[in-house]
Chain A
Amino acid sequence: KNQVEQSPQSLIILEGKNCTLQCNYTVSPFSNLRWYKQDTGRGPVSLTIMTFSENTKSNGRYTATLDADTKQSSLHITASQLSDSASYICVVPTYKYIFGTGTRLKVLA
């Protein structure tokens, strides 16, 4: 069964701190993995796309990693800001989007 699981389910950190979100998937066939950021009550916004051959990709303070062998991905947020408070969703497409369970991040001042 195609599944995408994320951890932790929720996370609270202080402004300026770093954090890492995890995504494990059992999706086949695999072509790419995407991280989306979703602010409360808004639509998800694409942060990064990882293809099979990519191990690391950065987008500003966001750095995604992918280990296709272990079927794991992580999203590292550096020097967190209050505006990083959102849900982060890992998506692994097959013929449709398979959404992860999401991680709710709260950044406190």
Chain B
Amino acid sequence: AAGVIQSPRHLIKEKRETATLKCYPIPRHDTVYWYQQGPGQDPQFLISFYEKMQSDKGSIPDRFSAQQFSDYHSELNMSSLELGDSALYFCASSPAGLAGTDTQYFGPGTRLTVL
């Protein structure tokens, strides 16, 4: 069965650079969630999209932005990178935008390292 695809899997950037992470949800899933997971921490919700519109916002820094495109893939844009942005970034998708009831299927994550 198709799963959530994230690219790239690994990314190394310098401080103050920009990065773009991509997420391709499971086919027919119209909701995408982005999470940031630091070492030894549980995932922190950043932002979600349902039908190409932002549906919820969590602890996403102002330096980050995201959008969902017409094919439902999503991109997380990160600017002015800081050392503390080094983390695993997960994307999850679900079928109907109901975070309380739908199962979220997580992608393999993108490991971002900021030097």
Contacts and interface: CB of A to CB of B under 8 A. Distances in A.
B44 to A, nearest CB: 8
Interface size class of B (residues with CB under 8 A): 20 to 34
Interface residues of A, number: 21
A62 B88 CA distance: 27
B100 A46 contact: no
Interface string A74-109: 000000000000000100011111011110000000
A12 interface: no
A46 B105 CA distance: 7
Consensus secondary structure, chain B interface:
loop
Contacts of A41: 88, 109, 111
B103 A34 contact: yes
Interface string B54-66: 0010100000000
16 contacts: A31-B100, A32-B100, A34-B103, A41-B111, A43-B90, A43-B92, A43-B108, A46-B105, A93-B100, A96-B45, A96-B56, A96-B58, A97-B43, A97-B99, A100-B42, A102-B42
Interface of B: 4, 33, 42-43, 45, 48, 56, 58, 88, 90, 92, 99-101, 103-109, 111
